[in-house]
């Protein structure tokens, strides 16, 4: 399977200028190609092919005074921009045919977009120098912070500038079956939520890091400062970068939490089962901010690809499975219950069940995993933890998964 490995880049002043030129040229070619295809559609002409657009908008355009500056960047970057447009159209048409979720038609790119990217394939003859720098055509040798070793020779590299002004090199690497982990003895079902990010069928509860909530005060302060700056001024641009850096820190902390938790679950369990949640529907409720802060979709996607990579079994059960209504001991469906009911007693067998653990056990059973319902039972009369409020912030943001895990298991 193909994986992406991202590393932070630190280009100097001239290299940043060359990268800005490459971003701009790729954007112009993309917009020219989109304009040509939209004009053909309005005139009911045949759809222009990529080869014809490449000759017209790149090869021939370099010989004109209006587009002569396209020759200052690598031709591979411009060709890949046309490939990106092809992919955008393909995804749009596949959505109309029902082959994938619907998405909008391709749109023009703006020079004011805060995120820019260009891609170099093997034809561009980029390389990693013996000194550990990334040599890019017509840009130079850029310093890279290598956090780990690439498992194989990468096929392409994408240079990305994000909204916070940071540069990244994203490598596409092919991995083989040699990374399959040895057999594990455990299987687990996972119930995702807001009070606890994840509750496992063995009774483990993992608290949500609530990255956005904990950084909310600082983000609000930075956003208020941004709103007071004059549009188009240098100070407004600096304030926008401060806001973007704050959101980037939150996204990085959330992604790190997802990676460490998903890796831990895949290493310790032979099979993992989760419920297919209606995230889009939940994001339209009053819990929208907390739903987006949890990032369930990204976490489940990590579980899925890591299970395929390391030879584990991943099962996604239907969202309409009544996991919170069925007793995991006797299997009797006891009907829906309000969200404030966290512990309930089965009317058929009398078992006292923790709502979240019971749901996790039912998720595992619905997926066909061999788990015990013993973890779903609690002692009668045990204290029910208070539900976390949607409002409020915390002054500090945890920086390591170990502290989150410790916080989530300290109350068990």
CA-wise closest residue to 360 among 174, 192, 198, 189: 189
Residue 108 has pLDDT above 50, yes or no: yes
- pLDDT single digits (tens) 261-274: 999 999 999 999 99
What is the pLDDT averaged over residues 39-51?
92
Q: Is 249 exposed, middle or buried (0-12, 13-18, 19+ CB in 10 A)?
A: middle
- pLDDT single digits (tens) 297-312: 999 999 999 999 898 9
Q: What is the pTM of this model?
A: 0.83
Q: What is the 3-state secondary structure (H, E, C) of 333-345?
A: ECCCCCCCCCEEE
Q: Which residues are catalytic?
A: 191, 275, 356
What 131-140 contacts at long range (C-beta under 8 Å, 24+ apart), as own/partner pairs, is 134/9, 134/169, 136/74, 137/74, 137/76, 138/18, 138/22, 138/72, 138/73, 138/74, 139/11, 139/15, 139/18, 139/19, 139/22, 140/14, 140/15, 140/18
Per mean pLDDT, which range of 24-38, 93-107, 136-150, 316-330 is the poorest?
316-330
Counts of helices then strands in the chain (DSSP H, E): 11, 14
Residue 379 has pLDDT above 60, yes or no: no
- pLDDT single digits (tens) 150-203: 988 999 999 999 999 999 999 999 887 667 888 888 899 999 998 899 999 888
- pLDDT single digits (tens) 202-240: 889 999 999 999 999 999 999 999 999 999 899 999 999
What confidence score (pLDDT) does residue 378 get? 53
Instruction: Give phi and psi for 208, each to the nearest 5.
Output: -75, 135
Per mean pLDDT, which range of 68-82, 309-323, 379-393 is the poorest?
379-393
Q: Give alpha helix (H) positions in 187-287.
A: 211-214, 216-227, 234-268, 279-282
Average pLDDT, the chain: 87
Confidence band for 133, pLDDT divided at 50, 70 and 90: very high
What is the pLDDT averaged over residues 344-349?
83
What is the pLDDT averaged over residues 70-75?
94
Confidence band for 370, pLDDT divided at 50, 70 and 90: low
What confidence score (pLDDT) does residue 110 get? 94
Q: How far lies 96's CA from each of 235, 319, 346, in Å?
A: 44, 24, 46
CA gap 271, 264 in Å, rounded:
13
Residues 180/310, Cβ–Cβ less than 8 Å: yes
Alpha carbon distance, N-terminus to C-terminus of the chain = 39
pLDDT cut 90: percent of the chain above it: 64
What confidence score (pLDDT) does residue 376 get? 58
What confidence score (pLDDT) does residue 226 get? 96
Instruction: Give phi and psi for 198, each to the nearest 5.
Output: -145, 140
């Amino acid at each position: 399977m193909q994986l992406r490995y991202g590393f932070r880049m630190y280009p100097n002043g001239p290299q940043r200028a060359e990268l800005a030129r490459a971003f701009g040229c790729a954007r112009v070619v993309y917009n020219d190609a989109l304009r040509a295809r939209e004009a053909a559609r309005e005139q009911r002409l045949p759809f222009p092919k990529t080869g014809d657009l490449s000759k017209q908008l790149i090869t021939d355009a370099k010989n004109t005074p209006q587009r002569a500056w396209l020759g200052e960047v690598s031709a591979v970057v411009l060709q890949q921009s046309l490939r990106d447009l092809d992919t955008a159209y393909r995804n749009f048409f596949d959505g109309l045919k029902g082959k994938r979720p619907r998405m909008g038609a391709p749109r023009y790119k703006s020079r004011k977009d805060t995120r820019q990217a260009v891609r170099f394939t093997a034809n561009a003859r980029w390389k990693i120098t013996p000194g550990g720098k990334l040599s890019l055509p017509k840009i130079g040798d850029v310093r890279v912070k290598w956090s780990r070793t690439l498992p194989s020779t990468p096929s392409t590299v994408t240079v990305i500038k994000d909204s916070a002004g940071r540069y990244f090199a994203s490598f596409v690497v092919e991995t083989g079956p040699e990374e399959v982990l040895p057999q594990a003895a455990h299987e687990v079902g996972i119930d995702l939520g807001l009070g606890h990010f994840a509750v496992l069928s063995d009774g483990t509860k993992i608290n949500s890091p609530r990255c956005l909530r904990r950084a909310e005060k600082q983000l609000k302060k930075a956003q208020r400062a941004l709103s007071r700056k004059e549009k188009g001024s240098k100070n407004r641009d600096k304030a926008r970068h401060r806001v973007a850096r704050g959101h980037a820190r939150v996204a990085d902390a959330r992604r790190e939490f997802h990676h460490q938790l998903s890796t831990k679950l895949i290493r310790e369990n032979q099979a993992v089962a989760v419920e297919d949640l209606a995230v889009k529907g939940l994001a339209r409720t009053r819990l929208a901010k907390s739903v987006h802060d949890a990032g369930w979709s990204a976490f489940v996607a990590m579980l899925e690809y890591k299970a395929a990579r390391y030879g584990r079994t991943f099962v996604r059960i239907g969202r309409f499975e009544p996991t919170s209504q069925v007793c995991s001991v006797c299997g009797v469906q006891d009907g829906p219950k309000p969200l404030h009911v966290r512990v309930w007693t089965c009317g058929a067998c009398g078992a006292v069940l923790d709502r979240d653990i019971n749901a996790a056990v039912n998720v595992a059973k619905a997926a066909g995993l061999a788990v015990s319902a013993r973890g779903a039972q609690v002692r009668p009369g045990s204290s029910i933890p208070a539900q976390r409020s949607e409002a409020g912030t915390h002054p500090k943001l945890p920086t390591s998964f170990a502290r989150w895990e410790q916080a989530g298991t300290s109350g068990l």
